[in-house]
Amino acid sequence: MTESITKKDRISLVAGGMLIMLTQLSISANCFSIFIIPVCESLGFARGMYSWSQSFISMGGVVGSLMSGMIFSRYGIVKTMRVAGICSTALYLVQSFASSIPQFYLISLGIGFFNCLCTSMPLSLLIGERFTEKRNTVIGIVMMGSGFGTSLFNKMASSFILSGGWRPAMRKLGLIMACVSLLSYFVLVREVGGSGGVASAPSAGDKKKKEEGGEPFFNGRRTAIVCICSLISIGAGTFMSTITPHLQDIGFSQSFAASVYSASMLTMAFGKIMHGAIIDKWGVRVSNSVMILTAILGIVGSLTFTTVYHSVLICIGMLFISSLAVVGAPALAEALGGQKNKKQFVGKINAFISLGYMIAPFIYGSVYDRVGSYVPMYYVAIALLLISLAGVLILLPKKSEYHE
């Protein structure tokens, strides 16, 4: 299959992937926090109750991750992405008509499920198939689209909300998402080699290896490693999802809070490329350690925020924070199982990362409703990240120990 992949195919995949991340993921998931206060004030929801919608997005991602291997193998990655992209876009537009908590939860669950099948995970698999060198850097380049998109559309959403309310804002963003991302699915992300990214069937030797329990990922470290991934995503999710409402709570305007968040999204965009380059050079142990340490700095910035200069710490904290799922998971799957076994493991790793992001809003939303502040959860997040750092240093392999 590799011989039939041209340079044009690779460029088209990178361009399409960036546009998908720029619009599909950024609008449908990463702009969630900007709507928390307007939706709750408009419909009279408790902030914690509505924040759980974000947990349902992650819950949908868990289900999608666990089912992804079977779905991709049966229908092909590209075909699945196209159908899932249509469904996710339609659900986002439908969300603008929702008026009750159960409706938001159900729609969020569907968005999370379909996003899992049409954004970062399938794109990382396609890149892994079509690039042989510096693939983690290429993944970072593609995934940086979500950082640029979140920065752009958070600012745009804030303007739309202030001028016309949150419902028209969602509809405008949904139409932008439909025009750009769907064009990318059907024009730029193409099937090549006649497979469309269908996972190849395992050989008899692979099946025997699996039956004997000899897969590298199952050598006594799987449970501990995926639990560490969940802890990181709880801490990261708490920080990333509460920046905007926290700054408003401590006296800054919605416009200022959106500007800080947008600036942090720009650093996060470049952070994805840096994260991929770090993985290619030093491996997943170093990259995850750097991500955890910078996230802690960002939380400290939120805790001590008094002037605009603290925005620098928040931007540093956001540098790698979203890379765990979109760049880190594929690299971790490859480090533990090798490129040949990557498809079997990336869905499982993504599922546990999504599980952490799912749990985080339940926790910080409940804490906020009880004490009226996110500050206690920031201290919990720092503790979880420190525990995760110890786990990363103990459990993850050095680059020289990667399974081939």
In a domain, 198, yes or no: no
The CATH code of the domain that includes 51 is: 1.20.1250.20
119-139: string of b/e by CB count within 10 Å (b at 16+)?
A: bbbbbbbbbbbbbeeebbbbb
Q: What is the pTM of this model?
A: 0.72
In a domain, 200, yes or no: no
> How many domains, the chain?
1
| Single-letter code of the amino acid located at 375 | V
* Cβ-Cβ contacts under 8 Å for 76 (sequence gap 6 or more): 191, 195, 196, 197, 198
In a domain, 274, yes or no: yes
Q: What is the DSSP letter of 2?
A: G
Structural domain of residue 356, as residue ranges? Answer: 2-189+218-396
Q: How far is CA 160 from CA 34, 94, 96, 238, 335, in A?
A: 11, 18, 13, 26, 43
- Tens-digit pLDDT profile for the chain (404 aa)? 445 677 888 888 888 888 998 898 888 887 887 888 888 888 888 877 887 887 788 888 888 888 887 888 888 889 999 999 999 999 999 999 999 999 999 999 999 999 989 888 888 888 878 887 777 788 888 888 877 887 788 888 888 998 889 999 999 999 999 998 888 888 888 776 544 554 443 433 344 444 334 444 445 677 788 888 889 989 988 888 888 888 888 888 877 887 887 788 778 878 888 888 888 888 888 988 999 999 999 999 888 887 777 888 888 888 888 777 778 777 787 777 665 656 667 777 878 887 888 788 778 878 888 888 888 999 999 999 999 999 998 888 776 665 55
In a domain, 153, yes or no: yes
In a domain, 402, yes or no: no
CA angle at residue 218 from 213 to 222, to 5 degrees? 160
Q: What is d(CA 209, CA 205) in angstroms, rounded to the nearest whole number?
A: 6
**Residue 245 phi, psi dihedral angles, 5° rounding:** -65, -30
In a domain, 74, yes or no: yes
